[in-house]
Amino acid sequence: MVTRKAPTCFDGKKNGNEAGVDCGGVCRPCEIKKNIKPLEITDKSIVYGGKGKYDAVVTIKNPNTLYGASTIRYTISLVSADGEVIMKKTGEDFILPTQERFFIETNIESNVVPKDLNISIDYIDWKKFVDYKDPDFLVQNVQFGKVESGINYAKAFALIRNNSDFDFREVRVYVVIKDENDKPIAVSATTIGNFQARDERDFTLTWPYRFPGIMSSIEIGVYANVFDSQNFTQQYLPVGNYERREGQ
């Protein structure tokens, strides 16, 4: 016998007699999103990620000064030279007010060499901030290049200082290496756990495969999810209050 759960006002779905996600009908009224500008995709690239694998890096900008998105669900599609979609991968992330940041998906398997990628934003849960203050991370002592010996081809190293007034349970680090034409040729990601205020932590990332280009520059994005209350192990000053807005 198959049973189905009845729709509720807290299941994250537009169902029952709702007009939006968990709003309208028998649920709370849907709030009208006023003056919220759409997210801007400022760059996108697909890079070689090893035999039969590819990595996608997309740069997204949030032009809103008062609104951030606690949840962004998206779909990345790899496209062949003739325009056919050869592989899709879904993901979920967040973005803060006025932030421009990397969205990265690694190890996308494909037997066909992709020519390009497309990204669609499938769902956004906006939140309005009051008295907002960005998490503050300082990236120092950045080093990258080929490995002189061993099994790896290249590596990247950096030291990160948490200048925020918060202890974070988890901080994400995204690394993008570019060639002389400012085109991404390698990406990777790591997580720093239990990152305390005023503390410094370093990381090293390695790539075992050869890049299709000359390493010329590196960009490092450091992101802490302030929407998740469980991500704060201790908070010395308020990060800012926010109000929920209907997802789209």
User: Cα Rg for the chain, rounded, in angstroms?
Assistant: 20
On the question of a common fold for 40-130 and 137-237, the answer reads: yes
pLDDT above 90: residue 229: no
Query: Is domain 40-130 in CATH 2.60.40.3230, yes or no?
Result: yes
d(CA 202, CA 139): 9
What is the model's pLDDT at position 107? 93
Determine the 3-state secondary structure of 185 from DSSP: strand
Domain locations in the chain? 40-130, 137-237
Mean of all residue pLDDT scores within the chain: 88
124-171 pLDDT, tens per residue? 999 988 777 788 999 999 999 999 888 999 999 999 999 998 899 999
Q: Which CATH class is domain 137-237?
A: mainly beta
- Residues facing residue 104 across a β-bridge: 57
Contacts of 154 (CB under 8 A, 6+ apart): 144, 145, 146, 147, 177, 186, 206, 207, 211, 215
What is the model's pLDDT at position 223? 97
40-89 pLDDT, tens per residue? 999 999 999 999 999 999 999 999 999 999 999 999 999 999 999 999 99
High-pLDDT (> 70) share of the chain, %: 88
